[in-house]
Amino acid sequence: MSINPQFAQNFRLVNEKIFNNWPGLRAAVEHGMGGRNGQKTAIEIMNYVFEYCTKNENITQGELQNVIEDLMDEEFDTICDDGSIPDICSHLLRYLRLCREEKYAEIEAELSRLPQKPDWLREDAKINYIPIKEDDDSSSTDADDGTSSDDMDVDMEEGPGPSSRRNKKDDFVEPEEGWTTVRKK
């Protein structure tokens, strides 16, 4: 299947705009979930999704959602529980259809209403990493109780109470160590 250059150029712009405005992906990168090359990995994911969308016809939202969920899980150990992935997929597929129909003026008008944030998914863009405290073998351990000096001040007991990891608002329990959950505010 030959790809129309104007179609590819316009859909690439849409794809980049959507990924650059995705807070869940940025949070995963900023929190080091993708390791030292998290930003590069995010760029590769963005490019992979572009290729996947342009080289496959009749993609369903469920298929695209599975692809992005798998990539976030495999590359960032992150599960987005905020509804952002279905939302992103819906927009990508809608804009993909509009690009194929060459409705570029409509796409441009809609994209101009999105927040005009600077693109961070570029090789030359700088990311501010937010350090997270993790338990690992290299952290110091207190001799008296065996806990790491990097441990958070959180009581890990189950049950209600201000010191548990349970959120009373919707009875959400934090996932296992090493996982990041992205949720709506």
Q: Write down the domain spans for the chain.
A: 5-112
Query: Each residue of 131-142: pLDDT tens digit?
Result: 766 544 444 344
Residue 59 pLDDT > 90 = yes
CB neighbour list of residue 169: distance below 8 Å, 6 or more residues apart: none
Residue 162 pLDDT > 50 = no
Strands 180-182 and 78-80: parallel
- Please report the pLDDT score of residue 111 as a whole number: 83
CA distances from 132 to 28, 83, 113 (A): 11, 24, 34
Are 89 and 64 spatial neighbours (Cβ–Cβ below 8 Å)? yes
Q: Which of the pair, 147 or 52, is modelled with greater confidence?
A: 52
- Please report the pLDDT score of residue 106 as a whole number: 93
Residue 152 pLDDT > 70 = no
As a residue count, the chain comes to 185
Tell me how far apart the alpha carbons of residues 14 and 92 are, in angstroms, rounded to a whole number.
8
- Please report the pLDDT score of residue 6 as a whole number: 86
Residue percentage of the chain with pLDDT more than 70: 71
- Average pLDDT, rounded, for the chain: 79
Q: Which of the pair, 1 or 92, is modelled with greater confidence?
A: 92
Residue 98 pLDDT > 70 = yes
Q: Read off the pLDDT band of 88 (50, 70, 90).
A: very high
28-42, 50-64, 113-127, 168-182: least confident range: 168-182
Residue 17 pLDDT > 90 = yes
- Please report the pLDDT score of residue 61 as a whole number: 97
